[in-house]
């Protein structure tokens, strides 16, 4: 992030627009957006971009095609309607559509101008904007056009909405004493901060290492708030103790109502959440695992990140072979974080892994696609592997990723007499690439970090990543005194299905017992 820009910005005139053209004096920065949600029941909202002056005569305005965290092209530009540009006198200036997500604005050299458009929303989903009479969920990549080549400029935002709505939840910095105004030092931060508005409920916040953690949500349902927030606190403590550093000033869990999925950000996460199931142990474990996953992502993918995942190319997307680390190991750690937080027992932890085992081992795609390929091809295959006619030719890194994480952890623990673990690899990556080098790690650097922590060459292990070689569970799980049983059962559709069970060996050797004990956090 680029805080220096804030200091460089001089007071400038920008313009406010609502239903008609109104100009008024305001101060910095160069680009100011107004989002007006005046008729939310129509599922649409208006956006105006005001620019006090621009050095070039033309700019290309672009709508991103995707949002980091959801690795699919989303066609956000399809939701843009009625785009028009004006000069300071409210007179139309040229706004020519060049392709599906680019507009050329001309004749603006040294002069103020503004651009207005509407966003039409249709589907309630975690990775696109959605507005209805009760709330607004704004995905910034689905809202704010950027000037091509100018992602580094600071922006300010004013939100204008129904006065019956009581609260805004976002990771953006608020302007002091102006609850509806926010700033971002650049577009990467702007695009990292979704905005939720409505009659939202905020639960009492908690602090970990002096840092405030909030939970704000829409339609959050009925559950025991105190138990839930205590559990969330334990999750934050458990996850942050693995890395040993909390890198944000404040963190917000943003519940967006019923649905599926969550998206991770630097100082917040948006999660589909309606409180359901929090009175049943199995469903509670799934909810806590899910929240731990999204929370752990602020380390693993936002800061401990693949080299290719930054700077972001909002037009073309950023492909990487390493999503199995960012996603698969976040699944691995969601289970461990919840177990080590004391919110699940060992049997629950084993059953979490059994779920991935059953899914992966019964997927014929395991013989066709490697983790590396699954990471790269997710943009075309979809987040859970190919479907339809191509079903069975791909794997899900959400299943094989945590399994490889499990075996890799045991490999490192066994090689070092349990002195080191995969936790040390994650810490090393955080310190070396996020804190010191301030960049992502490459595929070779990930393997090197594992070997440095293991103290031996483990290149043969990485065949489980680079090829479709079948996983040797028995060998690695024995390092932790665990065994795996496989049964063939007949599923409902009469297809024979493999069913796996993880259990403890009787009479483990001292090293096996020690590895299991410390891995479980007991």
Q: Which stretch binds Zn ion (CB under 5 A): 101-109, 189-197, 320-328, 448-456?
A: 320-328
Helix (H, G, I), strand (E, B) or coil at 117: strand
- CB nearer Zn ion, residue 182 or residue 299: 299
At its nearest, how many Å lie between Zn ion and the CB of residue 141? 17
Q: Which stretch binds Zn ion (CB under 5 A): 199-207, 214-222, 325-333, 452-460?
A: 325-333
At its nearest, how many Å lie between Zn ion and the CB of residue 271? 11
- CB nearer Zn ion, residue 305 or residue 413: 305
At its nearest, how many Å lie between Zn ion and the CB of residue 96? 39
At its nearest, how many Å lie between Zn ion and the CB of residue 299? 12
Q: Between helices 329-340 and 422-429, what is the axis angle to 10°?
A: 110
Q: Which stretch binds Zn ion (CB under 5 A): 278-286, 319-327, 484-492, 496-504?
A: 319-327
Q: How far apart are CA 516 and CA 41, in angstroms?
A: 55
Contact flags string 225-254 toward Zn ion, x per CB under 5 A: ------------------------------
Q: Which stretch binds Zn ion (CB under 5 A): 198-206, 218-226, 322-330, 443-451?
A: 322-330
- CB nearer Zn ion, residue 289 or residue 373: 289
Sheet holding 167-170: strands in order across?
Answer: 130-132, 135-138, 195-198, 167-170
At its nearest, how many Å lie between Zn ion and the CB of residue 211? 22
At its nearest, how many Å lie between Zn ion and the CB of residue 293? 6
Q: How far apart are CA 34 and CA 191, in angstroms?
A: 15
- CB nearer Zn ion, residue 129 or residue 330: 330
Q: How far apart are CA 118 and CA 5, in angstroms?
A: 29
- CB nearer Zn ion, residue 198 or residue 262: 262
At its nearest, how many Å lie between Zn ion and the CB of residue 69? 7
Q: Within the chain, how many helices (H) and strands (E) appear?
A: 14, 23
Identify the CA nearest to 153 among candidates 30, 281, 289, 330: 30
- Residue 405 in tokens: 């994480």
Residues numbered 370 to 389 that lie near Zn ion (CB under 5 A) are none
Residues numbered 326 to 345 that lie near Zn ion (CB under 5 A) are 327, 330
The residues, any chain, with a CB within 8 Å of residue 241's CB and separated by 6 or more, are: none
DSSP-derived pairing of the beta strands 31-37 and 155-161 = parallel
What's the per-residue H, E or C state across 305-371?
CECCCCCCCCCCCCCCCCHHHHHHHHHHHHHHHHHHCCCCCHHHHHHHHHHHHHHHHCCHHHHCCCH
At its nearest, how many Å lie between Zn ion and the CB of residue 506? 37
Q: Between helices 225-243 and 281-296, what is the axis angle to 10°?
A: 40
Q: How far apart are CA 21 and CA 148, in angstroms?
A: 26
Q: How far apart are CA 135 and CA 365, in angstroms?
A: 41
- CB nearer Zn ion, residue 327 or residue 443: 327
- CB nearer Zn ion, residue 71 or residue 130: 71
Q: Which stretch binds Zn ion (CB under 5 A): 314-322, 324-332, 441-449, 508-516?
A: 324-332
- CB nearer Zn ion, residue 327 or residue 381: 327
- CB nearer Zn ion, residue 40 or residue 328: 328
HSE-CB at 486 with a 13 A cutoff on CA atoms is: 10
Cα Rg, the chain, nearest whole Å = 25
At its nearest, how many Å lie between Zn ion and the CB of residue 327? 5
- CB nearer Zn ion, residue 291 or residue 428: 291
- CB nearer Zn ion, residue 297 or residue 366: 297
Q: Which stretch binds Zn ion (CB under 5 A): 13-21, 33-41, 321-329, 401-409?
A: 321-329
At its nearest, how many Å lie between Zn ion and the CB of residue 63? 24
Identify the CA nearest to 81 among candidates 46, 110, 52: 46
- How many residues bind Zn ion, per CB under 5 A? 2
Q: Which stretch binds Zn ion (CB under 5 A): 181-189, 323-331, 356-364, 448-456?
A: 323-331
Burial class (CB within 10 angstroms; exposed 0-12, middle 13-18, buried 19+) of 362: middle
- CB nearer Zn ion, residue 121 or residue 300: 300
At its nearest, how many Å lie between Zn ion and the CB of residue 127? 12
At its nearest, how many Å lie between Zn ion and the CB of residue 369? 19
The widest CA-to-CA distance across the chain, in whole angstroms, is: 84
At its nearest, how many Å lie between Zn ion and the CB of residue 326? 7
Beta bridge partners of 253: 215, 269
CA torsion through residues 397, 398, 402, 403, sign? negative
- CB nearer Zn ion, residue 330 or residue 372: 330
Q: How far apart are CA 269 and CA 254, in angstroms?
A: 6
Chain positions contacting Zn ion, by CB under 5 A? 327, 330
């Amino acid at each position: 992030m680029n805080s220096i820009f804030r200091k460089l910005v001089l007071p400038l005139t920008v313009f406010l627009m609502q239903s008609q053209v109104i100009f008024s004096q305001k101060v910095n920065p160069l680009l100011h957006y107004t989002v007006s949600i005046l008729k939310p029941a129509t599922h649409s909202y208006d956006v105006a971009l005001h620019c006090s002056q621009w050095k070039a005569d033309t700019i290309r305005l672009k709508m991103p095609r995707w949002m980091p965290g959801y690795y699919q092209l989303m066609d956000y530009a399809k939701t843009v309607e009625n785009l028009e540009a004006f000069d300071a006198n409210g007179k139309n200036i040229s706004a020519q559509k060049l392709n599906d997500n680019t507009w050329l604005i001309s004749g603006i050299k040294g002069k103020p101008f503004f651009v207005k458009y509407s966003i039409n929303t249709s589907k309630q989903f975690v990775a696109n904007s959605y507005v209805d009479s009760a709330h607004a969920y704004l995905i910034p990549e689905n809202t704010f056009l950027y000037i091509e080549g100018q992602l580094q400029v600071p922006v300010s935002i004013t939100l204008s909405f129904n006065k019956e709505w009581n609260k805004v939840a976002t990771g953006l910095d608020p302007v002091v004493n102006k609850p509806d105004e926010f700033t971002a030092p650049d577009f990467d931060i702007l695009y990292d901060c979704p905005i939720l508005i409505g009659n939202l409920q905020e639960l009492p916040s908690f602090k970990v290492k002096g840092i405030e953690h909030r939970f704000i949500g829409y339609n959050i349902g009925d559950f025991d708030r105190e138990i839930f927030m205590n559990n969330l606190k334990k999750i934050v403590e458990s996850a942050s103790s693995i890395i040993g550093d909390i890198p944000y000033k404040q963190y917000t869990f943003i519940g967006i109502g019923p649905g599926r999925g969550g998206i991770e950000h630097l100082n917040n996460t948006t999660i589909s959440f309606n409180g359901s199931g929090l009175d049943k142990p199995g469903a509670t474990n799934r909810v806590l695992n899910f929240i731990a996953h999204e929370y752990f992502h602020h380390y693993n993918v936002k800061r401990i990140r693949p080299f290719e995942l930054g700077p972001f190319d909002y037009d073309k997307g950023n492909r990487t072979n390493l999503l199995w680390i960012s996603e698969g190991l976040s699944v691995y750690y969601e289970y461990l974080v919840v177990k080590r937080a004391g919110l699940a027992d060992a049997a629950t932890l084993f059953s979490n892994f059994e779920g991935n085992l059953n899914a992966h081992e019964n997927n014929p795609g395991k013989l066709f696609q490697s983790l590396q390929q699954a990471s790269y091809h997710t943009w075309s295959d979809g987040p859970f592997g190919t479907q339809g006619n191509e079903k069975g030719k791909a794997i899900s890194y959400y299943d094989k990723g945590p399994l490889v994480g499990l075996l890799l952890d045991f490999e490192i623990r066994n090689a070092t007499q349990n002195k080191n673990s995969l936790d040390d690899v994650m810490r090393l990556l955080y310190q070396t690439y996020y804190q010191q080098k301030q960049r992502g790690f490459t595929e070779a650097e990930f393997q090197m970090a594992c070997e440095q922590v293991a103290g031996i060459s483990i290149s043969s292990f990485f065949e489980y990543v680079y090829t479709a070689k079948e996983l040797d569970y028995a060998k690695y799980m024995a390092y932790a005194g665990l065994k795996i049983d496989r049964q063939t059962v007949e599923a409902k559709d009469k297809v024979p299905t493999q069913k796996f069970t993880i259990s403890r060996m009787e009479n483990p050797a001292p090293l096996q017992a020690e590895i299991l004990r410390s891995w479980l956090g007991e």
